[in-house]
Every structure is written in C-alpha cells, then in structure tokens.
Chain A
Amino acid sequence: MSRSLMIGVDVGGTFTDVFVLDEATGEARVAKVPTTRPDQSGGFLAGIRAQVSDLARVASVVHGTTAGTNALLERKGARTGVITTAGFRDALEMRRRDRPRTWGLRGDFVPIVPRDLRIEVPERVLSCGTVRVPVDIAAVEAAGRALLDAGCEAVAILFVNSYANSENEARAAEALRAFWPNPHVSVSSEILPEIREFERFSTAALNAYLQPEVSGYLDRLERSLRSEDFGGEFLIVQSNGGVMSVDTACRVPVRTALSGPAAGVIAAAYIAGTAGFPDIITGDMGGTSFDVSLIAGGQAALAPQTSIDFGMVVRNPMIEIATIGAGGGSIAWVDKGGLLNIGPESAGSDPGPVAYGRGNDRPTVTDANIVLGRIDPARPIGGIARLDVEAARAAIAAHVGEPLGLGIEASAEAIIRVANSRMAGALRLVSVERGHDPKRFAYMPFGGGGALHAGALIAETGVGRAIVPRFPGVTSAMGCVIADMRQDFVQTVNTMTAQADTGALAALMQEHHDAGQAQLAAAGVSFAGREVVFELDMAYVGQTHTVAVPLPVELPEGRVRPPTREGILSAFEDAYMATYGRLLPGGVTRILNLRSAVIGLRPKFDLSTLAPGPDASLEAARRGSRPVHLGGSWHETAIWDRLSLPVGAVITGPAILDQPDTTILIEPGQAGEVDRFGNVIIAPALAGQEGK
C-alpha cells in the first residue's frame, strides 16, 4: 500500500488538533480531541486514529509542539551544568544588565543554571580568533565529573569568543562527550557561532536545559507511532516556520521555542496566498494575549531572537510575533485618573470571564462581547454549558459603568472599542512601523477569538479586508502539513567590506549550502523544489544594529560563485535605503554575519478540497436571528451556520456567522463573501450587495 497521507498535529493546552491530507486524492480531513496530560502521546495518537485507521498509509507526521516553550515558561527543564571560560561563569546570570520592568525597580532573576553548577576552566580565545590560552582538558574532565556527581543530566560548553575560533570549545566537547553518559552536551559554537556572548550562552544553555525533556517527549511520541505500523517520517516544526527531522529537533530543541505559533502563521500565509492575498497580517486572539505577525509577498517576517521570559533569550531566526496583553480574558478597569484600560491583567481561561461563573468578578473583553449579544450565551465555549449574562452585566456596571457614568451596553461597547484600538495598535506596530501600508494588507484572524473583532479592525487600521479561514481553530495543524523543510545557518565574519575575503566568504556559504542539502537528503522527504538564500548582516562602522542584506548568489551545479565586494556594497545600499530612507555619504561599511537558509519546498495541496460541498445552501445555513448591540443600539441580527454557507454567498452586516470553533461578526456597512475555498472575505459593503 502506498504511503499517501500527510498528517499535521498541533497539541494545545486544551485540544489536540489533527489535519490529515491525502496527497493521492487531495482530500483533507480534520479532527479535534482533548489533550492528554501528563503524557500527551495519548491524545496525539487518538487524534490521528480519529481520521486514520491504518498508520502504514502515513508518509509523514509533522508536529508543531509547545513542549519546549512550556518547559521554559514553567522552568521544568533538566538539571543542567555549564563549563565556561575562567572569569566568566556569571555572564549567563548577569545578562545584558537589564531589569524586568522600567519603573518600580522590583523583580529578581533566577538563572536556569544555578551558580554552583557553572564551573570555570582555563582557556581563552581573542576576538581575532587567536588562541591565547589553550583549553585545559584535565580541568574540563574534572568539571564534567563534578557536574555529573552533582546530578546534572545536561551540560553546556560556553567559551568567550568561540564564534571567532571554535577550537577550544571543540576540544572540550570531544573530551566531555567521551564520558558524558547521554547526548545532552550543547556547545555554543555548534548551536550559534555568532558574536554576543550572552545571547549565544543563553541560547546554548537553554538548549541543554531542554534536551532531556524535549528529546524524551519526542522519543515517546515516535515510539507510539512506530508501534502502530507507522513507517514514514516524523518531522518537527521549528520557530522559523520550517520543519526539521526529529533527530535535529532532539539535538537542537531550542529551535522549537515558537514551534506551535509558527505553524499557524505558515498556514495563514498559504491560505491567504491561495485566496489571492499575498500580503496579510495575522492575529491570534487567545485568553491573555493577542499575537500579530506580518506576511509580505507570501513570506513571514523573521526576527533574529526572542525573550521567552526575563533574561531567557533565544537567538535563532524565528517567525516574528508581536504580542500585546489584550486577549478575551483581559480585564477592563478604570484607573484613579478616570481612564479606561484593558489588561495587562487577565482572567485567562481559568477562572476566565465573569460569565464563566468560576470566581472572577472583574469584567473581561469576552464579557463585553457576551453582554452585547455577539457571543451566544447558549453555545458552549471554554467547556462552560451556559454563560451567565447577568453576572457579566453586573460586573461591567460596577467596574466600568459607574466610574465612567455610562450605561451597561455603552460600557460594554467602550470596552470593545478600547480593546479594538489596542489590537489595531498591534497591527500598526508590525505594518506602519515597519514601513508597510496597511491598505495593501488583508487581516486574517485565527484561533478562536479573533473573528468577532475582524470587522472593527478593518475600520480602525484601514486594512483592505479581513479573511477568515474555513477552519480557524485548526490553522496550526494545517500549517504543519504545509511547512517547508528549512535549515538556518549563521557565522560571524566581522570584516570591513572593503577588505572582505570574498573567497573565504564563498567557502563558508558553500559549507552552509552543503550541510543544508545533506540534511534535506537525510530526511527522506519528497520536495517540489529547493531554495538557497544568503544574507549578510551589515552596518556602517560604528553602528551596532545591522541591516539584513539579501545577497543574490549564483549556484551553478551546486557550487557557490563568490560574490564581489562591489556587489555586496550595492546590495547593502539597497537594503539600507529601504530601511532608513537615507544613506551615510562616505560611510565605511562592515559585514558582521553570514546567514544562510537551505529550504526544501514541500508539495502544496489544493485548498478547494476544504470548500463547502454541493449540499451547502443559504437555506441550510439560516439559523434565525437574535438581538445584537451594535453602534449604540440593539439590532435584530441574522445568525448563520458558517460551515453550511455555499461558495459565493454574500452576507451583509449586521450578521453573525457561527461555527464550532469561532464566531464571526459582520458589522453594519460590511459584507462577508464565501470564496471558492470556503474562506469568508469581509470588506466594506459595495452598493447593491446583498444576500444571494
């Protein structure tokens, strides 16, 4: 039997989502099952079995995982030791001399590796790469044994300037690996050969901290799959939105830090691109936060690093996600100066909004949506059978209405307007502030909460339209199936452009290229094509912030053709102009890092297989009406079953479209159209547009 099934699995806090694609027929199916704890492999397999009876037919299982993120946030990684350069054992704890919050001077920092498990050894490399003190191997061995005796399961080797010359680190690693009882040895120059010791040390130490936990988890999953006749490939989504083999994930688990959200953004890019919108801003509204990403020309913006928590920096290319504290559970309150605020305090999903009746008595954004009739109190959300509208009304009256002198509905609308305005701020943050005109973009809400606010965000930010995917709740699982395989490399070069050794640079590019191609080949996955991308981090001498400079490079028969200094300089000037709008006349430029990406393009599937079937019709979709408060008054508003709407249906606002995992609000003056893939496209209504 041929292996034709591709399966994407996203394990969330409440539900495990599964997306199954049959590459032979183009048919797609979805499943949603409860997440099992503590061993998530139960729900993982149950979700797959809900749609697939024979695992022998599965070509690949791709997993977007939050195991790494959660282990970091909950500080549940392994007991980890550090071996480092004499004089620098505290670099990891000293951070970059920051503090948790600007104002208040409060808050402590507890490093993931305590001071007594950070051991110094004699060794020193200079910034030019010269070995000033060769590494003392006997000291490394003694340090390793001391850490084992202290109960360490993982260890990181963190030497100063190892980005410039990795010799001392490599020798220490060889000595240590000779007797360390497991593969959990992280070496800073292997993980991230890039200048900036704290960022490199932090990334490598967090990697070591995650290795036992994440590789144990992935190993359990893989064994359960194999025990069910699964003979295909098991792949993991990275924070950069590409997938990697499970072996790579076990070696470099720190690359999974944003695995789950990255998969969602990748799917959003594909869905929107297919629907004809290559430029979108995605918004994921959860209980406590609103996460926004920008996709331009079908490409998600990548950020060079992120902080998982104060002082916990991971430096790896990752999908750029801007987060603000305005989720459904964010609390609305009026400060002593009379200003209405939303968040940052949140009721989350437990206890959740007042209407959940679980003990929170301060109003949230979701409570305002319930009071205004936008969420149907009779439809279960968050596992609650029936929402307590009266409690929500009382909370809004007490905490917002009285201090502002407004009625209950007006107060609820005020909460929504301020929340929308904060969400619009996040959209502007990733678009206007980066030089993108929002008019060119479509907004795509995914996850459960966002579609209620999509229409308002069109009005607030001037985005052209909103696109609500057919299954917003399983976007991340779908992204797993769509994601390309991607390997990123970095190497600090640190040279003046005018003196750059372009031959040596080409040799590094060749090395990255060959290593990436070898990893693609080893993964046993079929690709529709391959891409290689080179970028240089460059700046004028004296600047510390660099500009990413895409470098066009020819690769005849897989051999890198060396770039010229003139070509590099002109690419820099193009990139710098695009970023800052002015060049520095006569400025001397410098190349800091080479970044390379080797990408195996996965075959894409036809999203129209998800579209509504022939039995969908307006009649089948009609669900009557209910009063919804909009623009200052109650309107009797039509309710539709979203999944039963046929292709081409146009619903003019005000209207509510319901489906199991989300509610869509079409505001007065707007219309929603079902496109041929089943997406709902919301835009300002055209004259003469009406239900058909």
Chain B
Amino acid sequence: MSGDAPQGAGEIDPITLAVLAGRMEQIADEMDATLFRSAFNPIIAEAHDASHGLYHAATGETLVQGKSGLPIFVGVMAFAVKAVIDKADGDMSDGDIWVFNDAHIGGTHLSDMRLVRPYFHDGEVFCHLASVGHWHDVGGAVPGNYNPQATEVFQEAFVLPPVRLVRAGELQQDIVDILMRNTRLPQSAMGDLNGQLGALDLGAARLDALIAEYGAETVRAALDALSHRAERLARAEIAALPDGRWEAEDFLDNDGITDTPLPIRVAIEISGERLALDFTGTAPATAGPVNISRGTAIACIYVAIKHIFPVLPANAGVMRPIDVTIPEGSLLAAEFPAPTGGYTETILRMIDVIFACLAQAAPERVVANAYGTINALSIAGRRADGRRWVMFSFYGGGHGGAPEGDGLNHGNAPISTATIPPLEILESAYPVMFTQWALRPDSAGPGLHRGGLGAVYEIEVLEERGAEGFLFGERGRFPPRGVAGGGDAALNVFSYENAGEWANPPMVSKMVGIRLKQGERVRLETPGGGGYGPAADRAPGAVARDVRLGYVSPERADADYGPAWREVGA
C-alpha cells in the first residue's frame, strides 16, 4: 500500500468525482434505510445494528459505506467480504449471494449475519455488495447470544462458514432450512433475512443504473480516486498532530470465567504523516468471551480514528498511513474457537485507551471516556401458554466531557448509533414493568467540563412463572477515565432481588441464569462519562446549577469541587 496515484485508474475530472461520491453514498444509505424499515427484530429496526456498502472486487476493502449503519461495521465489513473472496477462490457467478456468521474470519460476533453479493459487470466482478445485521437469536446456550460463561464459540451460537445462500439467482432452500432450525425465533430471523436480501437487490439495481448512466470505467476511476483522496485526508490530519510517543493502559473487569482484571495497553507513535498503534502488553486470549478477532481490532481502531477526525470518509484508504501492531496470542487476535460474544466490551475499552493515549498528545482533539459498556441485559422466560419470550436490550450511559463543554447525559455507545426502545414498547411486548428509568446523580466524572450522567433502570418481573436474567457488562471495577486532568466517572453497578435481599453478581458485571420470581426486580446503574480538564477550574455557578438540578449531590460537589459553589447560590 502506498500513497502514490492509483495505478491503471482512468482519469476522472474533479466534478464528476464529487457527483459520483454522492451518488454511491446514497446507494449505501438507501440499502441501510431499506433494511431498517423491513427488518423484524428491534436490534436492527430500532437500534440500527446493521450496515451496507460497496467493497473492492479483489481485496474486499471498503469503498463506500452507508452513513446510518453501526459505526463498528465501517471497518469490519471488509474482512467479511475478504473471507468470501478467499472461500470462493475465483468460483463466483453472477447472482450468487454468500451468507455466514463466523466471527473469527468476519469480525464482531456470531449474532451478526453477513450476506455478500459479488456484483458483476461484463462478466467480471466489478465490486461486492454486502449486508450485515444483528439477528435476534442464533442458537447457542443463552437466548440473545450474550453468554458470559462461554468458553468456546459453540456455546455462544451455531457457526456458519461462508456458503452460497443464493446460487446464480436460485435461493438454496437447504441453507435457509439450516438457518431457521438454529434459532429460537425463526419468524424474526426469516424476516431479517428477507430484509437483507431486499437491500442487496436494491443496491444491485441502483448500481446498474449508475453504471448505465456514467459507464463502468468512470465509476471504477471514481472509486480509485476516492480511495486515494481518503488516504490524503488521513495523512493531512495525522500531520497536524505533534510527533512523539505516548502510552496508555486500562482494564476489563474479567472474562466472566476467572475474576482477574485484563489489561489493554496501547502505545501511539506519531511521526509526520504516519501514526502507529501498538497493543503489545495487552492480556493474552481468555477462556471467556471478551476476545476479539484481529479484524475486529483493526475495525475498532478505525472507529476511534474516525471519532477523532470525523471528516475522514468510510474508505479503506484512511488506514494506509496507519500502522497497527496486534500481538499474536492476545485477546485482540483470538483464534477459533475462542468465544467472542462480548466483543463490544473489548472494543469499547480499546477506544477508551486510544482516546486516553491521544489526550496526552493533543487534548483538544479528544473527549473523555464514555460509559464504556454495552450492558447487554436479557430477561427471558415462558408465558402461561408456553410461548417463549426474550427481552434483550442494551442500556445507555454518559458521554465524556469535551474541550468545549459537558458530556451528553444518557447517550449511546461510541461503536453504535443504537437508540433504546421506548419502555412502553418493551412493557407491551414482554411481561415486565419498569419501576425506574432515570438519570443517575453523581455518576459523571468531575472536571472543568464534567461527563454526562449515566442512568438507573429498574425492572420488575410481572410473569407468574418468573423469569431468568443474563447480563454482559463491564466497568464494574475500573471506571471510565477523565482526560486532561478530569476525574473518573462512577462504576457500573448491577443488582437483583433474591428472596427479599438485593444481591450483586460475583463477577460484578457479568452473570448468567439469575432466577427471578414474579415481583422481583433487577437494577442497572450505569456509569457516566469521564471529566475533561481539572475540576478546580469549573465555574462555581456551573457546580451550583448541577446541584440545583440534582445532577450532583451537595456532598459530592464539596468533595470534587470544594465549597465555592455554596457562595454562588443555585
């Protein structure tokens, strides 16, 4: 990979390039929108845990990706497409569509069902179209597939390697049958599969029209030029940072099997237009499911970089001036069949350490750590008529304080754009009642600009036959960090009622098989974001306002900011 002009690319004038860039982004956006509207499960329809794009014919590299899909997929889809290219080994036909969920070759976790469609023009693969969506259930030991006690992928879900779902335009019913027999919710899965196929059809039709209008050579030249432009942009942004070497370290609570903290370490070196990230010193692969594949790790770096430089496009060219070292055998480069179900927690921590590290180099470019855990909570059971129900959702927390102001209260995770379902929708669909849905006072890290507040969610089981709870979370022992002198946020706390007493999981943030009787509750108290800048520099009037609004208790205000706010009055 180099920064030279793309080889063999036809010339393209800057105006046509700008026009085609917009047209191709619109194709990917439209594929996203189609699946969001037609998907059956709320994780795709409401939380937008899906993504679509156009990928390089030979390398699978990202060319264009939808703006509304899940951020983490921006980098990881290239690995999924590459996996299909490798598996096919040249044996691809017009009208083929491949499907798989194997996370070790495709990244993320087994819940993400990937469909890849080689797009042919004049008898040759022009590019690939791909669709990924998080299915509601893909078998395994735990409904919803967040099994914190898994020690092999086989306990997380069924594993499907890349196979042809559609062969030269013919849907392979055998494959559909295998998929539908391996989920607890076949109707939801069938609806999602249909939606993903519809999105790929639509992408192909739009690409047909675009090539008919501009010609294949012009479109190809535009794709090459966009990749080159992405690289130039990345180089320019990196060059604006100071040269030097910095290090940072943070920890995962545990892997769900052994209660031992797991270090994630990064060293960042900036030298002119190049940036190197080295994760040497990170914990080795674990028995429990906080491992990620190398592809996921690289995709996560991409997400962090794009948060720091939002101007960079979703294009593989961005990564060319970036060198990455992921140590072999670490939990960031796990081998099959190590479990990966909790990949979200690990990549959130990677983003946190990258931000904390870069804060030393260029504090004006970063924000403090966000709440740093997806808090995948599943409550499941059977109704009186025997029907199974699974309420599975991710819960929010605070964002980090920023150079220009306080962090956002109750936001979504940096790797996601997911919204939370309304509690009224959850209560109408499942036999539960929320008894609290509130901001959590004193959960934000103090600072010149404090973090945003986390939340308190309390849920009571209404079903006579009781229910079972599963939690996959993090930040139970190590709080989200402040940067540039800002303070840390509060820890994540999960509690559940058991025979009249409130209890906490032995593994702090992870637990399976929590037995809940009718009338018993679970409670999640999520972290806020870290603070930005020294608390001592915060205006007393701002502290007084926080106390008046109940964001911060008077005691904590005194402890973190000193008594000056009391002079100001509310």
Interface residues of chain A, those whose CB is within 8 Å of chain B, are 87-91, 93-109, 114-116, 124, 126-127, 132, 160-161, 163-164, 195-199, 335-341, 404, 406, 413-414, 417-418, 421-422, 425, 428-429, 433, 494, 540-545, 579-582, 584, 587-588
Contact = CB atoms under 8 A, between A and B. Distances in A.
Contacts of A91: 423, 437
B262 interface: no
A121 to B, nearest CB: 15
Contacts of B425: 195-196, 544
Nearest to B428: A127
Nearest to A539: B40
B402 A542 contact: no
B412 interface: yes
Interface in B8-25: 14-15, 17-19, 21-23
Interface string B172-199: 0000000000000101101100100010
Given A115-B551, A336-B233, A494-B428, A98 B438 contact: no
Given A107-B408, A339-B226, A584-B190, 8 more contacts: A94-B439, A99-B411, A115-B551, A124-B433, A337-B229, A339-B14, A418-B22, A421-B23
Contacts of B237: 336
Contacts of B58: none
Nearest to A197: B424
A337 B233 contact: yes
A96 B419 contact: yes
B538 interface: no
A390 to B, nearest CB: 24
Nearest to A89: B438
A522 B411 CA distance: 46
Nearest to A114: B549
A418 B551 CA distance: 47
Contacts of B310: 101, 103-104
A433 B424 contact: no
Contact of B191 (A195, A417, A540): A540
A396 to B, nearest CB: 14
A116 B14 contact: no
Interface stretch (B41-49, B99-107, B477-485, B561-569): B41-49
A96 B420 contact: yes
Contact of A425 (B22, B409, B424): B22
Interface string B388-410: 00000000100110101111111
Contacts of B23: 421, 425
Interface stretch (B31-39, B125-133, B329-337): B31-39
B549 A335 contact: no
B45 A433 contact: no
B396 A340 contact: no
Given A109-B409, A160-B423, A581-B198, A99 B399 contact: yes
Given A99-B411, A337-B233, A584-B187, A429 B435 contact: no
B437 A90 contact: yes
B466 interface: no
B418 interface: yes
Contacts of A417: 15, 18-19
Contact of A93 (B198, B410, B418, B427): B410
A94 B407 contact: no
Contact of B417 (A98, A114, A545): A98
Contacts of B439: 90, 93-94, 115
Contacts of A199: 422
B307 interface: yes
B224 interface: no
Given A105-B399, A580-B198, A421 B549 contact: no
B185 A542 contact: yes
Interface in B210-259: 226, 228-233, 236-237
A335 B367 contact: no
Which of A91, A413, A579 counts the most B-chain CB atoms under 10 A from its CB?
A91
A429 to B, nearest CB: 7
Given A90-B439, A542-B40, A195 B428 contact: yes
B30 interface: yes
Given A89-B438, A94-B437, A160-B423, A433 B417 contact: no
A90 B551 CA distance: 11
Contacts of A541: 187
Contact of B422 (A89, A96, A335, A494): A96
B311 interface: yes
B67 interface: yes
A580 B41 contact: no
A109 B399 CA distance: 11
A379 to B, nearest CB: 28
Contacts, number: 206
B372 to A, nearest CB: 12
A581 B406 CA distance: 46
A93 B409 contact: yes
Interface residues of B, number: 86
Which of B40, B71, B313 counts the most A-chain CB atoms under 10 A from its CB?
B40
A346 B440 CA distance: 39
A410 to B, nearest CB: 9
B437 A108 contact: no
Contacts of B427: 126-127, 161
B434 interface: yes
A127 to B, nearest CB: 4
27 contacts: A87-B434, A90-B410, A94-B409, A94-B439, A99-B412, A103-B307, A107-B408, A108-B405, A124-B433, A126-B433, A160-B434, A196-B422, A196-B425, A337-B231, A337-B236, A339-B14, A339-B229, A417-B15, A417-B18, A429-B26, A541-B187, A542-B188, A544-B421, A545-B36, A545-B37, A580-B38, A582-B194
A489 B38 CA distance: 26
Contacts of B121: none
B307 A418 contact: no
B278 interface: no
Contacts of A104: 307, 310
B548 interface: yes
Given A335-B311, A339-B17, A127 B42 contact: no
B458 interface: yes
Contacts of A126: 427, 433, 462
Contacts of B226: 339
A106 B19 CA distance: 29
Given A116-B549, A161-B427, A336 B232 contact: yes
B306 interface: yes
Contacts of A340: 14-15, 18
Given A102-B67, A116-B550, A540-B40, A587 B187 contact: yes
Contact of B396 (A88, A94, A102, A494): A94
A177 to B, nearest CB: 25
B290 interface: no
Contacts of A87: 434-438, 458
A337 B549 contact: no
Which of B190, B407, B427, B435 counts the most A-chain CB atoms under 10 A from its CB?
B427
A417 to B, nearest CB: 5
A105 B424 contact: no
A579 B231 CA distance: 40
Given A105-B414, A197-B422, A339-B229, A94 B455 contact: yes
Contacts of B422: 96, 195-199
B507 interface: no
Nearest to A406: B14
A662 to B, nearest CB: 26
B202 to A, nearest CB: 9
A98 B15 contact: no
A105 B187 contact: no
Contacts of A406: 14
Which of B37, B198, B458 counts the most A-chain CB atoms under 10 A from its CB?
B37
Given A97-B410, A97-B419, A99-B408, A338 B396 contact: no
A34 to B, nearest CB: 38
Nearest to A460: B19
Nearest to A163: B424
